[in-house]
């Protein structure tokens, strides 16, 4: 049996890594993928492993391993060095004693394989097929987004939902925030299904729920701003018909957000000819808040004039996005 291995930090895992692993599979009967985890890093090994496990869950010839090491013993450097390669080769020799192939995209791969006495097979060393690196992902997530596997996107994507009753500026704020953050906006599906808030049925609400979930699922970007969600649709059913919609768990999962912004009804009511009257609008506001409380949805209340609302929303979204980057510990790494 021809055994091969690849190694890296996968901070984060990207399609260049995936392509190299799939290439390596064509050169062997069994492949080990080693995730090297330094004692100086805080990005969880379990997160990195989950990305690869999900991507290769159907491939029986791949095993995903994690290797925790001390940088005082195994140095981390991006510079190709014979002495560093020799140290790492000794560690790999203990882990992969009966392996005969190493696949990398790096110059040091030849050195490591040489010290191990095995064959090195390079893959796209100039990164022409997949012009992406972990450094690129860390420095410019928007630019690198198309090069991320779905498993990574699922953990890096951030979803913000704008909630509130009628005539509180949800649609306008959603569009403005999307432009400001270069994000994808998912607009309220109900506007294309129900023309008048005073004339709809429970069947319409189910149609809206399905369409809105489909639109959210189709959105593909690091940051998504969503106008309204399933809880508001449920609230319309409870308010207008006294009925609670039966919603599948998958629909709730698709709608689930990282941040909920609820627009207070402290702005002047504007009747555009399709809305409830102001009294009903305010009653609906109470219904929305009750439904959110019932389903355990925690939200940030946004109030004030239009500019104040925008500024509050921007501050909260910035905090969310910055927390994502800090939590990922996107620091300099050795093997991208």
Question: CATH number for the domain including 110?
Answer: 3.40.50.620
Ramachandran category for residue 245: left, alpha or beta (phi over 0 → left; psi -120 to 50 → alpha) = beta
Average model confidence (pLDDT) across the chain:
92
Q: Please report whether residue 240 resides in a domain.
A: yes
Interatomic CA distance for residues 331 and 138, integer angstroms: 8
| pTM of the complete model | 0.84
Same domain, 211 and 274: yes
Same domain, 195 and 308: yes
What range defines the domain where residue 115 resides?
Answer: 3-152
Q: Please report whether residue 334 resides in a domain.
A: no
Q: Please report whether residue 336 resides in a domain.
A: no
Same domain, 270 and 198: yes
Q: Please report whether residue 51 resides in a domain.
A: yes
CA terminus-to-terminus distance, the chain: 29
Q: Which of 130, 152, 174 is the last residue of a domain?
A: 152
How many structural domains does the chain have? Answer: 2
Same domain, 258 and 286: yes
Q: Please report whether residue 161 resides in a domain.
A: yes
245 has pLDDT over 90: yes
Same domain, 137 and 183: no
- Give the residue, 50 or 125, on which the prediction is more confident: 50
Same domain, 197 and 323: yes
Q: Please report whether residue 302 resides in a domain.
A: yes
DSSP class of 161: E
64 has pLDDT over 90: yes
Confidence of residue 316 (pLDDT cuts 50, 70, 90): very high
Phi, psi for 288 (deg, rounded to 5): -55, -50
Q: Please report whether residue 200 resides in a domain.
A: yes
pLDDT tens across 258-297, in order?
999 999 999 887 888 778 888 888 999 999 999 999 999 9
Using DSSP bridges, classify how beta strands 223-227 and 158-164 pair: parallel, antiparallel or unpaired. parallel
Q: Which of 133, 152, 171 is the last residue of a domain?
A: 152
Q: Please report whether residue 335 resides in a domain.
A: no
Phi, psi for 66 (deg, rounded to 5): -115, 140
């Amino acid at each position: 049996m021809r055994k091969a291995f690849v190694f890296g930090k996968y901070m984060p895992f990207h399609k260049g890594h995936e392509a190299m692993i799939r290439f390596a599979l064509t050169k062997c009967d069994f492949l080990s993928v080693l995730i090297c985890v330094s004692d100086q890093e805080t990005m969880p090994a379990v997160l990195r492993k989950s990305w690869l496990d999900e991507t290769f869950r159907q491939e029986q010839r791949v095993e995903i391993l994690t290797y925790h090491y001390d940088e005082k013993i195994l140095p981390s450097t991006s510079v190709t060095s014979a002495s560093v390669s020799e140290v790492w080769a000794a560690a790999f020799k203990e882990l992969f004693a009966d392996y005969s192939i190493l696949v990398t995209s790096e110059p040091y791969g030849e050195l490591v394989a040489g010290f191990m006495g095995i064959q090195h097979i390079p893959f796209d060393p100039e990164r022409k097929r997949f012009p992406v690196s972990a450094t690129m992902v860390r420095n410019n997530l928007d630019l690198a987004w198309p090069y991320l596997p779905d498993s990574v996107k699922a953990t890096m994507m951030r979803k913000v939902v704008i909630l509130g009753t009628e005539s509180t500026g949800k649609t306008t704020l959603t569009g403005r925030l999307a432009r400001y953050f270069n994000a994808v906006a998912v607009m309220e599906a109900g506007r294309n299904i129900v023309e008048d808030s005073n004339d709809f049925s429970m069947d319409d609400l189910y149609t809206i729920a399905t369409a809105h979930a489909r639109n959210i699922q189709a959105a593909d970007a690091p940051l998504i701003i969503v106008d309204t969600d399933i809880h508001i649709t449920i609230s319309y059913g409870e308010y207008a018909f006294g009925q609670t919609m039966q919603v599948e768990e998958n629909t709730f999962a698709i709608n689930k957000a990282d941040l909920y912004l609820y627009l207070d009804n402290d702005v002047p009511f504007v009747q555009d000819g399709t809305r409830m009257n102001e009294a009903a609008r305010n009653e609906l506001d109470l219904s929305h808040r009750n439904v959110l409380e019932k389903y355990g949805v925690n939200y940030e209340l946004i109030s004030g004039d239009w500019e104040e609302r925008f500024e509050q929303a921007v501050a909260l979204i910035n905090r969310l996005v910055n927390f994502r980057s800090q939590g990922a510990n996107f620091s300099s790494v050795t093997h991208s």
